Amino acid sequence: MTSAELLLLLTDGRDPLPRSVLRTASRLVEADAPVDVVAMPAVALAGMIDTTYAESTDGLARVADDVRALADTPVRLCRAEVDEDVLLVVLAAAEPIVISVFVHDRAAQRVSIGHEPLERLLRRSRSSNRAVALDALRGLSPEATFACHRQDAVRTASTFERKYSAAVQSGVDVDGLDEFVSALRRQNGEAVLLLDLPVADGGLVVGVREDRSEVLAVLSVRGLQS
């Protein structure tokens, strides 16, 4: 499928689409950007979003819910990108009906926190793994800046609970999982910022409130094979 064909499908739809979607689709046509198309059952696409994309891209939960309702119905996932924008369009496989659309603005979602402010937040935190995170931070450059990934807190809690409960069954040392999951679920659907700190034979996942005012919890994972 070409980007021009995709734009035609979007503009011929019966339901109006967000301006951001149409702007991005038009820019794709101007750039003659290629469109990757993958066919799969709707439920499989929802699961892929839950376990992969939703961990790093805030807002995709809605797309997962849109397609999950279709169960085993075949759908096509169309993906194209231009500059910092990624356009995802889910189409019915049998006919060109738009099921769900999403624009991921990677530039807008870039958030970071410096070494000193992170240290201050950790010192005020009540996380049981606070000391472990502070020790890891001391081993890093004071000039370090940490990339934060904005995610839906409740969905991330469910994803982490499944992922790391399975890891524990495989012999991975996971400390603070219940605390981490509970802290994220208490955010009542708000977003959370996640950042990684390296430690020997593993890493720490630090959950920070979206306004960067508080460290919510710290998850310690050691022995997980990449």
More confident residue, 187 or 191: 187
pLDDT at 80 exceeding the cut of 80: yes
pLDDT at 7 exceeding the cut of 80: yes
* Residues 94, 121 share a domain: no
Q: Of 81, 105, 129, which residue is a domain's last? A: 105
Residue with tokens 């991921």: 104
* Residues 129, 216 share a domain: yes
For position 110, what pLDDT does the model report? 63
* Residues 115, 197 share a domain: yes
Q: Cβ(146)–Cβ(118) under 8 Å?
A: yes
In percent, the amount of the chain with pLDDT more than 90 equals 45
Which range marks the domain in which residue 150 is found?
111-222
Average the pLDDT over 37-57 and give the result: 78
Q: How far apart are CA 209 and CA 215, in angstroms?
A: 6
For position 103, what pLDDT does the model report? 85
* Residues 127, 206 share a domain: yes
* Residues 155, 101 share a domain: no
For position 53, what pLDDT does the model report? 60
Query: What is the total count of domains within the chain?
Result: 2
* Residues 211, 115 share a domain: yes
Q: Of 84, 105, 126, which residue is a domain's last? A: 105
- Give first-to-last CA distance, the chain, whole Å: 34
pLDDT at 208 exceeding the cut of 60: yes
* Residues 126, 90 share a domain: no
For position 221, what pLDDT does the model report? 93
* Residues 212, 117 share a domain: yes
Q: Could you give the residue ranges of the DSSP H alpha helices within the chain? A: 3-11, 19-31, 42-51, 61-68, 115-124, 130-138, 153-169, 177-185
Of the candidates 13, 60, 61, 69, the residue with the CA atom closest to the CA atom of residue 41: 69
For position 70, what pLDDT does the model report? 92
* Residues 145, 121 share a domain: yes
The tens digit of pLDDT for each residue in 127-139 reads: 999 999 999 999 9
The tens digit of pLDDT for each residue in 167-184 reads: 899 899 999 999 999 999
Q: Of 90, 105, 120, which residue is a domain's last? A: 105
CB count within 10 Å of CB 44 equals: 13
Distances (CA, A) of 185 to 62, 157, 160, 189, 202: 18, 6, 11, 7, 25
Q: Cβ(122)–Cβ(137) under 8 Å?
A: yes
Q: How far apart are CA 220 and CA 145, in angstroms?
A: 20
For position 204, what pLDDT does the model report? 95
Mean pLDDT of the chain: 87
* Residues 125, 95 share a domain: no
Min mean pLDDT across 55-69, 112-126, 171-185 is at 55-69
* Residues 95, 66 share a domain: yes
* Residues 215, 117 share a domain: yes
> pTM of the full predicted structure?
0.59
